[in-house]
Amino acid sequence: MKPDLTIVGAGLTGLTAAIEAAERGWRVTVAEAHSRPGGRARSLAAPYRANTGPHAIYVDGPWWAWLERRGLTPPIVEAPRYVSLVRAGGRLGPWPAELSEAIAALPAEAPTEESFRAWLLRHVDTKTAEAIVGVVFIFTFDHDPGRLSAAFAHQRLRRALAGGARYVAGGWSTLVGLLAERAASLGAQIRTQTRVPALPAGPAILATSLATARQLTGDRSLTWPSARMATVDLGLRADGDPGWFRAIDLDDRIYAARYSLADPTLAPPGHELIQISAACAPGERKTDAERRVQRLLDQSWPGWRAAVQWHRSAIRTHCTGAIDPPGTTWHDRPAVSRGNTLTVATDQSAAPGLLAEVGITAAQLALQQLGETPRPTQAHKRA
Ligand SMILES: Cc1cc2nc3c(=O)[nH]c(=O)nc-3n(C[C@H](O)[C@H](O)[C@H](O)COP(=O)(O)OP(=O)(O)OC[C@H]3O[C@@H](n4cnc5c(N)ncnc54)[C@H](O)[C@@H]3O)c2cc1C
């Protein structure tokens, strides 16, 4: 008998864990509450194939290497060579070259103990420091990344600007489909519309959000800070070209991208898909965040209101991964191992990486913890 492993959640983490576990000889069942796998990485079907969560996949990271080794890399596209429009210090203009120079001149390492803002102020003037804090919003989603650990914010900034970010062609459901197909071909059972109400018996990986893992286990130590933000998605008639691919409000912490410029399959011919993230301070209402987004669009895209065909918006909490306060690193987050047979692998777990990569590395730590039966299954030999 090969051992049985239950994975709760068929998001990126659960599907990656299912593939690797099946490769290692586990008999895997994945229980997924939703009718489709993918979790936050699901995207909508046409006409506007908006992503629910992630946009950028990092081709310089460990997960991409993992996908490459298995022939699972999705088709990707790069950001088009278009202007990035930036609002900083109340003024709208092209991305300031001096900001890139200031970021490049920062020391290669930053301390864990100090806040990002305090550390920046030892190296650049106040205006530049606030602009850099505004840039780091894009990769942390936090309303004030200046309050985070300098080491954490700085590492996110370096990694995100290293040039490894790409977009998954057709939306992230393309990658979810590849992962689910491979998991199934290795013999993993993916049971959709199956909400797990209590901890499974036997070896298990909870590959849910950290909050859901807390509810399932009743373990109140399963908590870690994460950002609060608003998302606004718009499908528009392509009546005119505002001349930018990204509009970034460093003052107000808003990031808007015309993703269908990079990948025209995301919107019908003659239409555009724009997806926008706006940081939300605790207590800020959705309507207020939307108003800030509208103000940026009014300034940067005359006529956008009349072109809107479809829109949706939401406040998102605890779903953009971990953020580390000063004095903490990923080692301090909730441990993956929760006993002999129970593991919790989330994007807020004690694992290294950038955004979705954290859940993936946590899944690998979970499989190490659970021990493996290394003999590959017949299905794996065939794949
Ligand atoms: C707006 C936004 C932008 C982002 N941008 C990026 C980005 O650019 N790049 C990047 O790498 N990451 C990004 N992220 C983060 C990324 O989306 C997540 O890190 C990643 O999708 C998490 O995957 P997961 O599988 O760990 O969790 P999830 O996707 O949350 O999957 C958990 C699954 O568990 C299921 N589930 C929950 N409870 C139960 C239960 N009781 N029984 C059965 N199933 C259950 C859920 O239905 C879900 O399918 C972004 C996130 C957001 C919200």
- If you take atom 37 of ligand 1, which residue's CA is the nearest one? 208
Q: Is there an atom of ligand 1 within 6 Å of 209 CB?
A: yes
Strand-pair category, 271-279 with 165-168:
unpaired
Exposed (0-12), middle (13-18) or buried (19+): which is 75, by Cβ within 10 Å? middle
Cα–ligand 1 centroid distance for 199 (angstroms): 20
The full set of domains in the chain, from first to last, is: 4-46+171-223+328-382 (3.50.50.60), 76-168+226-322 (3.90.660.50)
pLDDT per residue as tens, the chain (383 positions): 456 999 999 999 999 999 999 999 999 999 999 999 999 999 999 999 999 999 999 999 999 999 999 999 999 999 999 889 999 988 999 999 999 999 999 999 999 999 999 999 999 999 999 999 999 999 999 999 999 999 999 999 999 999 999 999 999 999 999 999 999 999 999 999 999 999 999 999 999 999 999 999 999 999 999 999 999 999 999 988 999 999 999 999 999 999 999 999 999 999 999 999 999 999 999 999 999 999 999 999 999 999 999 999 999 999 999 999 999 999 999 999 999 899 999 999 999 999 999 999 999 999 999 984 444 444 444 44
d(CA 350, CA 167): 26
Residue located via tokens 């918006």? 313
Q: Is there an atom of ligand 1 within 6 Å of 200 CB?
A: no
At residue 298's C-alpha, the angle toward residues 297 and 299, to 5°, is 90
Greatest alpha-carbon pair distance for the chain in Å reads: 67
Q: Is there an atom of ligand 1 within 6 Å of 41 CB?
A: yes
Q: Is there an atom of ligand 1 within 6 Å of 9 CB?
A: yes
- If you take atom 32 of ligand 1, which residue's CA is the nearest one? 208
d(CA 34, CA 180): 14
